[in-house]
């Protein structure tokens, strides 16, 4: 079985990659778009989106600020996601 993270071969019965430690095989992780309870600044929307996509939270906040300043859509989108995204439970 090959690791999707590092591409190295592992034994068929392995659950974790021996090289990088990534999970192998048929485990499906459910990803949910939620506002985390820790690491939030205002409402946790930027932290939740960054966590969902695996991005850096600071970069996400800068992107959101640029959307707000130059495109004008950042504020409205933030308010919509604040209302729609559930808190992490």
DSSP sequence for 7-70: --B--TT-SB-TTT--B-SS--PPP---B-SSS-SSSSHHHHHHHHHT--HHHHHHHHHHIIII
Q: What pLDDT, on a 0 to 100 scale, did the predictor assign at position 8?
A: 83
Which range among 19-28, 43-52, 70-79 has the greatest average pLDDT?
43-52
* pLDDT bracket for residue 23 (50, 70, 90): confident
């Amino acid at each position: 079985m090959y690791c999707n993270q590092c591409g190295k071969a592992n034994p068929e019965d392995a659950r974790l990659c021996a090289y990088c430690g990534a999970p192998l095989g048929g485990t499906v992780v459910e990803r949910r778009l939620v506002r985390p309870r820790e690491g939030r600044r205002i409402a946790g929307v930027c932290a939740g989106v960054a966590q969902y996509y695996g991005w850096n939270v600071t970069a996400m906040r800068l992107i959101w600020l640029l959307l707000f300043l130059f495109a004008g859509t950042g504020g409205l989108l933030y308010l919509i996601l604040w209302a729609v995204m559930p808190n992490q439970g």
